[in-house]
Structure 1
């Protein structure tokens, strides 16, 4: 069995730590390096407050890529683009779990990745159940002409909409442009932001972890598809590592874990 060498950027964060620990448990994956500015220069296990795991921590992605097959990025919206492009330039495949990249930025990444022969797999949510919601929503959009999207998160989540909601809105817009809603009067912004042709709303309140809802409407009936995540990051581990295993077999950007799940 070939061993896949990975680097996890954001390995001391909420999701990145769970993914790094999942990589350490996987017999076909070697966690070769990690990126965390606050833990740079030390061992990853010790940065978690435990025993050494013999994984060095670097401050910058560019310094952590020697011998790495796949970069897994769970950092921050203001850092992810530079991280991805740094990896692509080095010929390293990438899994993007960080929110915040736009469709235009993904187009830029796709162009460069194809030039370098590199695979990039990106998803706003690497949960298996969230991917199934997205697959169901894409099917619904083929038959239902109007929809809106609502995403929910805790008061401290800075990006709005979430990566999950943004990706869902953009990909639904690729299926078709939804029928425009009636023009409204009142307070600007009350109808949310238009993404992929659909109104997209973000709720940020204490008590929420993460949730996204796609609501489709026809006269006299409504379809609501909703995914809710708990307080653990464990749901994102299996999908992220699945993507890491598949990225070296691809060229260019693949968006959505559902794309991988639906392939034969």
Structure 2
């Protein structure tokens, strides 16, 4: 059994991870960390059944006393970097779904993971469909260099654009190279109306509204035609096969793997 600590367990994704870890035959919940519900049994987040694992806000102590082998983190940009560094220092392998880690934190995480010879998986998206969308978009960019991305998420998501949108843009830019897209001197009558601008003019538009989970369109344009590659998430359950795969694979890795596609399409 793989002993798993869940950081951000009371959040929407944290609860889904909790259900998945409890349902899988080879994973065991050993620690539940969240800044809310301190002291309550983790089972109260689901059916109310007692799990004999108390929620705690002290990550370092939880990892030190629980025997955790893997920490799954679905917190947010404000805490993810520090959480991952804490896990690695404790000898625990992180599986990270939270996005928005700073460049400095990422550099420290990479150095720690390498020095301690611990695996660490940081994945902007754990759904197979989204990973295929990124893969197909990168291929299409060889032939359709003019492209914009529209991503839509629930209104409680703190960071914009999403990690998936940034990852998609990076893969597209790798394929199309240095390409100036659109009118160089276009005028925005309302600041930001044309979205955020990546190198070479690639635009990302972020929508935040209640009712959405996670959705993305990659729209390519050429003379007389457009091509749209789209992925829609209708339930957070779709992330869980990827999360469980990462939990299992991170035990055999050394260093940081950024993007689940590096494990799925290897």
Per the TM superposition, whether the score is higher than 0.5 is yes
The structure 2 residue matched to 1:219, chosen from 211, 218, 223, is 223
Contact 1:77–1:101 under 8 Å retained in 2:
yes
Moved more, 66-75 or 38-47: 38-47
Number of equivalences: 260
Report the counterpart of residue 7 of structure 1 in structure 2: 5
Trace 1:251-262 onto structure 2 (pairs within 5 A): 251-262=254-265
Q: Contact 2:215 / 2:231 at 8 angstroms: preserved in 1?
A: yes
1:35 matched to which residue of 2? 33
Offset of 1:104 from its aligned partner? Answer: 5.9
Matches within 5 A, 1:8-27: 8-27=6-25
2:253 to 239, 242, 250: 250
* CA RMSD, 1 decimal: 2.0
What per-residue deviation string (whole Å, max 9, x for no partner) do you get for residues 176-211 of structure 1? Answer: 435222221133322211235421111123443321
1:205 equivalent in alignment to 2:209:
yes
Deviation larger for 173-182 or 151-160: 173-182
How far, CA to CA, are the matches of 1:175 and 1:103 in structure 2?
A: 23
Q: Which runs of 5+ in 1 are unaligned?
A: none
Q: Which residue of 1 aligns with 2:244?
A: 241
How far apart, in 1, do the equivalents of 2:250 and 2:160 lie?
28
Indicate if the aligned counterparts of 1:91 and 1:117 stay in contact, CA closer than 8 A. no
**TM-fit CA distance, 1:60:** 2.6
* Secondary structure in 2 matching 1:5: strand
Q: TM-score by structure 1 length?
A: 0.90
Once structures 1 and 2 are overlaid, which stretch shifts more, 87-96 or 156-165?
156-165
Compared CA separation, residues 205 and 106, structure 1 to 2 (3 A): same
Question: Kindly tell me: are residues 195 and 54 of structure 1, through their superposed partners in 2, closer, same or farther at Cα, counting changes over 3 Å?
Answer: farther
Mean CA deviation greater in 36-45 or 21-30: 36-45
